[in-house]
Structure 1
Amino acid sequence: MPSLLLAHHLLISRSIIFFFSGLPFLVSLTSLFRFSPQHRRGIMFLLSVLPFLASFTSIVSAQYSNAINGTTSNGTTTFNNPILNEVGADPWVIRHGDYYYMTYTTNTNITILRSSVLTDWDNADVKLAFDPPPGMNYSTDLWAPELHLIDNSWYIIMTADPNFDTPSPEIDMWCDFNCPAVHHRMYVLEGSSSDPWDSTYTLKSQLNTYDQFAIDGTYFQHDSGLYHIYSCWYRQYDAWPANLCITKMSDPWTVESNFTERQIISNPDNPWEKTPYGRPFNQRLSSNEGPQQLTNPTTGQQFVIYSAARSDNRNYCLGQLELIGDDPMNPSDWRKNNQGCVFYQNPKAEAYGVGHASFTKSPDGTEDWIVYHGMRDPANGWSARTIRAQPFTWNADGSPKFPRPGYGPYQVPSGQA
């Protein structure tokens, strides 16, 4: 944001120029002699400084405009968070060809945004990809959609439920606590072509999660095959904690594993995976969700970056799993970073509740970027979330080195026009 001082100077200088340019007595020089000598001297002085004021106004106006647009006077291009100036959460960004494509939670439908730049989505193209009919099991609460390219076909994987998180009392009574999300399931849409923008998306299938709670599902692509990783309960009516489950897939819409083969690869058993952070144990609010695959482009190390704690809370953060073995279905082949969040709130910058991230590259492919949601005012919970982006690097051990979340200004991605 431009400084208040800069805006103040601009306001004063523009007011002065406007005032004098609009004075009715600033006419021909001959008319000046109608005034007294004292008044003539004052008017002549003001006329003499007018060009300097105009020049000053031009300079300040340019600086002010550049500050708003994220461009400094020396031509260095920057941007500020959020990258979409509206409420938004659970962002998924993928680059394909000359464009970035974004999906995020709208609750009522699946919308795709298309932008030639990563850091400005206010001017993006907008496409309604899927508008569910009423009365279906997937008609409401469409959450966390992701657009994936698998075997040259486009798929959208999403969460949905039939009735706005309101199960009947006959169902709710089975839970240890009330369980409004008990009917959430995973669904897959299939695109009609190899182009994500021109495709028509239709419902392909509900993913088999054994008639149990399932949200925030993603694809994990590995040399051994395709997998579904999602947020799950241990039993049908557990109503928390939310864990991370994995199943094997035979194709992007078919789960191959049976229920006994499903594996839990992470439980929210650390203090920072519970909410409030460090407070007494609260199983009802503990969660692992929003898993995302992340691959080190140099070493090939495979990670799952997930969200921990409750999503409407300031302590929402990112945790990390690393696949250290060859079998994603073997829980012992996953190593969890139990030291704490790898990406977390920054009170100094008023950046809270940062999580549910996705990952992409700069246009020239030289930089890695994290796209995530967060909030400036945690008191407003879910309605305060906006979408942000920042670059990140890699640690010496091959793990991701995430920055502290903030608002900028930051340099735009390398290669961005």
Structure 2
Amino acid sequence: MFKLTQLLLNATLAIVAWGQYYSNTTTYTNPILSAGGADPWVIRHDGWYYMTYTTNDDVSLLRSQILTDWNNAESKVLFTPPPGLNYSTDLWAPELHQLNGTWYVIFTADPRSDSPSPELDMFCPYNCPAIHHRMFVLEGHGSNPWSASFVYKAQLNTYDQFSIDGTYFQHSSGLYHIYSCWYTQYAAWPANLCITKLENPWTVASPFSERQIISVPSLPWEKTPYGRAENDRLSSNEGPQQLTNSRTGQQFLIYSAARSDNRNYCLGLLELAPNGDPMNPSDWRKHQYPVFYQNPAESAYGVGHASFVKSPDETEDWIVYHGMQDPTNGWSARTIRTQPFIWNENGTPNFPKPGYGPYKVPSGQ
């Protein structure tokens, strides 16, 4: 009798263990990186997912074969800036791109830990702590970003004006730099989306007279506080990311709006007209409502600054983003999450409500 009882107990434990294993390998929950983080950028290359995100002090790279769990990912520092340079502090929103067979990291940084002197701050109509932020580029050669050796390449010309969250926009007419900008050097707010044409990934071809502003935070949901029509301070368009519908060829720019430490942070969408010129503001159409926004029913707030990647078998599209569970804690509350999305009949992306799951893991994982 004892042996039978023991056998039944062992069988039960085995079933429970298998059930836990099966659950753990077929579902996941958000966040996907328990240590927290913001501004995630994820790409997939040769069977590996690579992630960069804001660490402030350096540019770090994580790699994992599992999109939905980065807690056991390998990590390495690609670049630590020397002190006393224009890019020594507050490194934000690094992105990893492969362009013409070479790896590039584009990132934001400043020389003064976000602290302008009173002599400069007095020119701004609002407080302007990020006035020194500019865009910079690293270059790496190698078959994959993990083995590539990265070196500082150049500062991207933004006409000695505020610039953050820069990204590369690839188009049949060339390569472009899209970033968050002010109207003028001391404007402080609002933060808009600017575009310039590039000669190569580290050299801007456009003179200042040709720089174009393609989006401003003009709608209520793009402003902070929400809906205060006369308010420019803290109203932002930032974190632009290219998204292409591979079925229709439609070109989108997904961007973050409102303020990044606020519950109302969300994603907006610009669509480039067919055969449109990226440098022509009238060829960009802004959708009038946010396409990804807070879900109070699941305490998912401040969702934004996204990137986009395929499932391992290339059949699904996934959004990787940051959000908050307790928005009263601001920037320190941000964590990195991911969820699948689909496409509407008109070719625009259809993002899910943000939440914590459990969700089904990516196809092929």
Check whether TM > 0.5. yes
Q: Contact 2:224 / 2:233 at 8 angstroms: preserved in 1?
A: no
* Greater Cα radius of gyration, structure 1 or 2: 1
Say if 1:274 and 1:281, in contact at 8 Å, map to a contact too: no
Q: Is 1:276 equivalent to 2:225 in the alignment? A: yes
The superposition leaves residues 57-84 of structure 1 with CA deviations (integer Å, 9 ceiling, x where unpaired) of 7268538x82xx7x43xx8711111111
Partner of 2:78: 129
Task: Output the CA distance in 2 between the equivalents of 1:265 and 1:322.
Answer: 11
Unaligned runs of 5+ residues in structure 1 are 1-43
- Report matched runs for 1:86-235 at 5 Å: 86-235=35-184
Match of 1:250 in 2: 199
Q: 1:20-49 CA deviation, whole Å, 9 max, x = no partner?
A: xxxxxxxxxxxxxxxxxxxxxxxx9xx899
Alignment map for 1:371-386 (pairs within 5 Å)? 371-386=320-335
1:54-93 matches, within 5 Å, as 54=9, 58=13, 62=17, 66=20, 71-72=22-23, 77-93=26-42
Show the counterpart of 1:300: 249
2:324 maps to a residue whose letter is M
Contact conserved, 2:45 with 2:144, CA < 8 A, in 1? no
2:127 partner letter: N
Instruction: Pick the aligned partner of 1:332 from 276, 282, 285.
Output: 282
Partner of 1:34: none
Q: What letter is aligned with 2:17?
A: A
Query: What secondary structure, in the 3-state scheme, does the structure 1 residue paired with 2:141 have?
Result: coil
Contact 2:192 2:238 in 1 (8 A): yes
Instruction: Give the SS at the match of 1:285.
Output: coil
State the Cα deviation string for residues 63-110 of structure 1 (Å, max 9, x = none).
8x82xx7x43xx871111111111200000000111010000000000
Counterparts of 1:165 and 1:80, CA distance in 2: 35
2:268 to 319, 341, 351: 319
The percent of aligned pairs where both chains have the same amino acid is 70
Partners of 2:41 and 2:15 in 1: CA distance: 38
The Cα of 1:285 is off from its aligned counterpart by 1.2
Structure of greater relative contact order (alpha carbons < 8 Å, 6+ residues apart) = 2
Partner of 2:124, secondary structure, is coil
Contact 2:25–2:361 (CA<8 Å) still a contact in 1? no
1:251: Cα distance to partner? 0.3
Tell me, in whole angstroms, the C-alpha distance in 1 between the residues paired with 2:14 and 2:296.
Answer: 35
Q: CA RMSD in A?
A: 1.9
Task: Pick the structure with more helix per residue.
Answer: 1
User: Is 113-122 or 280-289 further displaced after alignment?
Assistant: 280-289
Deviation at 1:55, TM superposition (A): 5.7
Structure-2 change in CA distance of 1:238 and 1:52 (3 Å): same
Q: Secondary structure at the match of 1:157?
A: strand
Q: Which moved more, 1:144-153 or 1:269-278?
A: 269-278
Q: Which 4+ stretches in 1 moved above 4 angstroms?
A: 47-57
Q: 1:396 to 1:91 in 2, by over 3 A?
A: same
- Any idea what the Cα deviations from partners look like across 1:175-227, whole Å, max 9, x if unmatched? 01121100000000000323211111111000000000000000000000000
Kept after mapping to 2: 8 A contact 1:292/1:305? yes
Partner SS for 2:149: coil
Give the direction of change, closer, same or farther, for the CA distance of 1:137–1:356 in structure 2 (3 Å limit): same
Higher strand share: 2
Is the contact between residue 94 and residue 101 of structure 1 (CA under 8 Å) also seen in structure 2? yes
Number of residues of Structure 1 aligned to a counterpart in Structure 2 = 364
Unaligned runs of 5+ in 2: none
Tell me, in whole angstroms, the C-alpha distance in 2 between the residues paired with 1:397 and 1:53.
Answer: 56
Secondary structure of the structure 2 residue equivalent to 1:201: strand
Deviation (angstroms), 1:111? 0.2
1:407 aligns with 2:350: no
- Cα distance between partner residues in 2 of 1:49 and 1:222: 69
